Amino acid sequence: MRQAAQDSMLFSRISLQGNAPTARGFKDMLLEYYSHTEYRPSRAQIEKDRFVFFGLLPCRQWMAIPAGILIQFCYGSVYAWSIFNAPINRLLTNNSDQGGAEITFYIALGVLGFTGALFGPWIECSHPQKSGMVGLVIFFLGHLTAALALQVRMISLLYFGYGFVAGVGLGIGYVSTIDAVSKWWPKARGTAAGCAVMGFGGGSLAFSAINEELLENVSLPVTFLVLGSINLIIMFTCIQFICPPPPGHNLDGIPMVDETDLPHLKRPGARAGADGGSKGGSELAGTGIDKNPRYLAILGSERPIIYISLAEALRSRDFWLLYMSFLANIVFCLVILSNLPKIINRLFGMGSRDPQEPPLPAYLAVSIEGGFNMAGRVLVGLLSDIVGRKTTFLVILLTQVGVLVCMPFVIQSENFWGFMTLVWTATVCYGGGFGMIPAFIADMFGINNTSSCHGVILTAWSLASICGGLAFTGVINHYIDNGSMPYETKMYTVNFVWMLILVIVGFVCCLFVRSSIRDRLFPAPPDQVLRLRVFGRVFRVLYSVWHENAPQQQSSSASDYATGCHTDNSANILNNRVRKRHLRCELLTKEQEQVEWEEYLVLRAVQHRLMKEPDV
């Protein structure tokens, strides 16, 4: 009965509603909050969303992308924070290398991730204009508080203003904008999300130069006032073009049978239903599939849809394996982003063994890194739409392994352009992870869980920025406190080694991510020990156990009959079997995988029908 109930849950959504208790504790309220992750607009709101920009323009699908890019562009100004480290330290302590200004960046990104996790369900249930407006206003207030902190020269107020307050606005605005844009493009989520997140990388590229220009012409407090005002005006204008897609634009769940499984599937005259599919099996009519008994058994009248709740998504091992992979992907570049000017100065500039001007000014290097960050978000997102999310993620992690292996040798040889090439290569992978992760989550757990799961997974961003940054700085300070010079490379080599180990762990975790419903439900043979998908192919390890007849030492004789020692021949064979064990590996072809999957679907369809018609 338990298995039958589980099977039923996979093919139909079950809503259990009861009378709410009169008194609820905090735990009950929290569970309820994380149970509702679906935006349900009224009919009047749906009509209103047909027009954007204060109701003056008809809403078009393409409008979400440029608006999302510009909003993320403003939020991406946080990536240019490294330009402020030295000026703020000089203002507060008269020493550009001391003062702790860089900690502000770590706090902002740390708060960003946890804010996304906390407000994810609310963002999912709210109109994107509402959540986006809340985010941009809080982000602006963070800039105002930072300006006040620099005016009164209070580092703690700077941490609170730009680190905490702006970080909260950043978390709400980042998640709501990206997920709103990606929902408009269900067939190209990776590209759409990558385009939106591209603006975040572009903010680093542009605001590095903008910050330098402002610092040369106005004071630090005025710089933050100007930046906050620019961001507020641009984001307020662009948020008027952000609205959710109409009902039925996305599948309300994850189909067990995808169109790639039905290569001849067409949709002539199909009538879209509430979940984006077709009603009454009309999409199969005239294709020949509707006359195929196997597909009729699999599909019934509609394609079976699996609904995954937020709780099920967050409890699954696949989510946390993906979490570890994402964490490993972003640590290296997060540390480099916040310390690149200092690293360039110590290894190749005026603070190096042979003081000289670096071949490339630090602020320009930061801007170029922002360009690679921006390009990676689009290109990797596009690549993931073509070759698959997991394959793409494995490639970028493997690329980062190569970068970290080469990095110690490059800095020891004092090769500036080799160093920058490796940094920019890793930055493409870093940006690509951010561009692809919203689409990866939507594919795995459904569009209704995207904002919530995206918010939770961004806590990896927080951990990487705080723990990674502190670990990197701690190693550097340990060596300097013990007599090492800032330009010595061994302290950086130690940092690259622990980062390399982390990326390798992330690569292994990604191998075991079951990135699709097929991977999670694919039937396992009784003797299967391990199964994973590697670059689109199913690889499994089997541990077979069987018995083999042992050669008999002697045959029955007449004396055996006389003494009564004769045994039946079949029993004798059983007693003389030798147990064998054999470990073997299989790499399934696409045809073998498809056959096993179709057999599984037929079995599940039969089970489902027997449950619906118990008397049959």
Spatial separation of the C-alpha atoms in residues 396 and 412, rounded to whole Å = 25
Please state the domain extents for the chain: 60-246+309-518, 257-303, 522-554+570-612
Summarised one tens digit per residue, pLDDT across range 22-31 is 456 777 777 7
Exposure on the CB side of residue 342, measured as CA atoms within 13 A:
21
Token pair in block for residue 154 = 């209070």
Position 3 scores a pLDDT of 42
Spatial separation of the C-alpha atoms in residues 541 and 546, rounded to whole Å = 16
Summarised one tens digit per residue, pLDDT across range 479-532 is 888 888 888 888 999 999 999 999 999 999 999 999 888 888 888 888 888 888
Residue 581, beta-bridge partner list:
545
Position 100 scores a pLDDT of 83
Position 302 scores a pLDDT of 53
Pairing of strands 57-58, 305-306: unpaired
Q: Smallest Cα–Cα separation from 448: which of 139, 17, 35, 143?
A: 35
For 198, which DSSP code? H
Domain boundaries 60-246+309-518, corresponding CATH code? 1.20.1250.20
Q: Smallest Cα–Cα separation from 513: which of 397, 429, 420, 591?
A: 397
Token pair in block for residue 11 = 């093919």
Position 595 scores a pLDDT of 84
Position 513 scores a pLDDT of 92
Tokens 């050669």 belong to residue = 551
Position 315 scores a pLDDT of 87
Position 383 scores a pLDDT of 92
Residue 548, beta-bridge partner list:
578
Produce one character per residue of 256-285: b if its CB has 16 or more CB atoms within 10 Å, e if not: bbeeebbeebeeeebeeeebbbbeebbbbe
pLDDT beneath 70: ranges in the chain: 1-24, 256-304, 545-581, 608, 612-616
Position 260 scores a pLDDT of 52
Position 515 scores a pLDDT of 86
What's this model's pTM, rounded to 2 decimal places?
0.77
